[in-house]
Structures are given as C-alpha cells and as structure tokens.
A and B are shown apart, each in its own frame.
Chain A
Amino acid sequence: TQLLEQSPQFLSIQEGENLTVYCNSSSVFSSLQWYRQEPGEGPVLLVTVVTGGEVKKLKRLTFQFGDARKDSSLHITAAQPGDTGLYLCASYGNKLVFGAGTILRVKS
C-alpha cells in the first residue's frame, strides 16, 4: 500500500499570508487528488493531477505535481479565514489512500 506523507502537520497563519503544503511518497503516484475538509463535514475534492510536472490553478490555490510523480504541493496565495480546514492528499491504487493531512488555521 502506498504511503503518503504530508507536511507540515499544522499551520497557523495570519490572513493575507502565503503558504505551501506538501505531499510526498516513496513510490510513483498514478494520480493524485487534493481534498479540503471543514469541521463537521466530509472531504471535498479540490483537484486531480495526473501528469508529471502538471500545474493547476483554482483561484488562489496552485497545485503542482512533481516531474517524477512522487510529490505534490499546494500553494495558497493571500490566505483567508475561509481557507481554514484540513487539507488531504490522496492517491488511487486499487483504493483511495489518504495522507494524514495538514490542518490549516487562518486568523483574521
């Protein structure tokens, strides 16, 4: 089973700051998904990346897939309190495997 490591585990920043969270694996990802989970809710899919070197943008969120497809990053520009939540990366083998997540808290 593929293991996904996410860092940092916890991030607390002020509104307007930029941040990056990471997802790494010792083996190649077939595809990688990023989810955000708010308290009391289930995870919501943000993006799926498939191709090595791929970059996708979703408003203030930029997702990057490493050239070797063994790492990915999520960069948030000018974070807002509404970005607060648990950010999870996940990869499909024969099942969806999740990383432990990064808890992001954006203070106003």
Chain B
Amino acid sequence: KAGVTQTPRYLIKTRGQQVTLSCSPISGHRSVSWYQQTPGQGLQFLFEYFSETQRNKGNFPGRFSGRQFSNSRSEMNVSTLELGDSALYLCASSRLGQGTEAFFGQGTRLTVV
C-alpha cells in the first residue's frame, strides 16, 4: 500500500512569491491535514480537509489556503511569501480524521529567501 506522497520535496522561493504544495493521501483515506514544522514553533496545525470540505483551521493568516479534490488529493497554497514561512510542511492522511491514526508524508522543505 503506497504511503502519503508529498511533492515537491524541496523548494526555494523568493519573498513575495506564491507557492503550491501537493499531497496525495493513502488510497481510501478521506481526511488530509496540513502542518507547519519549524525549530522554534514545532508542529503547528494549518487545516484539515475531509471529502473536499475544510473541516478545521488553525491560527494562520489568510495567506495560507488549501483545497481538496474529489480523489482526496490536496493542495496548499501560500501567497506573498515571507521569510518566516520557511519550514517543513507536512501532510497527514487518515481514513476518517479526528482520533483515527494519521499517516504523515515526508514533507516539503520550503526555503524563502
């Protein structure tokens, strides 16, 4: 069974640009959650999508957005990048979301210069 796939693995962007990250969940999983991981703040929840609907949102500015497609694949977008957006962005999929086992991808390492 294929795991959670995130693309790209590494990305370098300039301040002010925008970026789109992709996550393909495990087959049959309908929930996809996104997290930002930095040395200073640790793992912070961005948002969760379930059956194409945003079910939960963390405390991030509106520059961070996401969506989920009918095949459960998800994308997150960050507009007007800031240096502080440099982080490891992790995606996790689970069958039903809250309380069920979450499987993480390897993450996308975003560096903003």
- Chain A residues packing against B (C-beta within 8 Å): 30-31, 40-45, 48, 88, 90, 92, 94-101
Known contacts A45-B102, A92-B98, A96-B102; 11 further A-B pairs (Cβ under 8 A): A42-B106, A43-B104, A45-B103, A92-B99, A95-B33, A95-B45, A95-B98, A96-B92, A97-B45, A98-B43, A99-B42
Identify 28 residue pairs between A and B in the complex whose beta-carbon atoms are under 8 Å apart, listed by A's number. Answer: A30-B99, A40-B106, A42-B90, A42-B92, A42-B104, A42-B107, A43-B43, A43-B90, A43-B104, A44-B104, A45-B103, A88-B43, A90-B43, A92-B98, A94-B98, A95-B48, A96-B33, A96-B45, A96-B92, A96-B98, A96-B102, A98-B42, A98-B43, A98-B44, A99-B42, A100-B42, A101-B42, A101-B43
Flag whether B58 is at the interface (Cβ < 8 A): yes
Does residue B66 face the partner (Cβ distance < 8 Å to A)? Answer: no
* Residue from A30, A31, A90, A95 in contact with B58 in the complex, judged by beta carbons closer than 8 Å: A95
Complex: A42 Cα to B106 Cα, angstroms: 5
Asked if A42 contacts B105 (CB within 8 A), the reply is yes
Nearest 5 CB-CB pairings of A with B: A42-B104, A98-B43, A100-B42, A95-B45, A95-B56
Q: Which residue of A lies closest to B59 (CB)?
A: A1
Interface size class of B (residues with CB under 8 A): 20 to 34
Residues 83-102 of chain B, each 1 if its beta carbon lies under 8 Å from chain A, else 0 = 00000001010000011011
A contact residues around B35 at 8 Å (CB): 98
Interface of A is mostly: loop
Most chain-A CB neighbours within 10 Å: which of B42, B44, B103? B42
Q: Tell me if B4 is interfacial: C-beta within 8 Å of chain A.
A: yes
A residues within 8 A CB of B44? 98
Minimum CB distance partner of A100 in chain B: B42
> In the complex, how many angstroms separate the beta carbon of A25 from the nearest chain B beta carbon?
15
* Nearest A residue to B57, CB-CB: A95
Alpha-carbon distance between A63 and B101 when the two chains are bound, in angstroms: 17
CB distance from A98 to the nearest CB of B (A): 4
**B22 CB to nearest chain A CB (Å):** 15
